[in-house]
Structure 1
């Protein structure tokens, strides 16, 4: 925590504090509402996951409007936490919620 605070005050770095910053979820919810507004009959949503915050909040909004919406997530093959239950070396905390996605895949670049 101390090291994170030191790094985040350096030029070129910014700490979002996403686990304590409610504004992050407000922004994600807004994105979900925009998807619903632009695609009201949307059948599916696929999002790439890092910490999964964006995908989980967009999924929550979409499922609230259309419970039958299929949610699928894509994760890096180097860290198949969701698809294989093992993590890689990315060192990023997540907020995954298994209740939303109906499917998941891992993918590698190249």
Structure 2
């Protein structure tokens, strides 16, 4: 599907097609990020580190807000999305770490 700038969309069918294309790319990017989260919990397990690293969470949020400002996207929107995603990934890592630690102590 071809990239069509928003201003060049002639009708809602074209707008929706482009939104679908962007959504696909977002899912692909989240899948890529998920791969790094998978590796992160494994490294944290080896190093006996916690899943939740507050200073890192804030660092990520600060970078996301700055990028949003550069791109003209509401920074509050991006922060809310990232906080949700970070929270989900932390819970995921905590569950993985807990299961592995419990499995090792048996």
Same fold? TM cut 0.5: no
Write 1 or 2 for the structure with the bigger share of helix: 2
TM-score by length of 2: 0.32
The structure with the larger Rg is 2
Write 1 or 2 for the structure with the bigger share of strand: 1
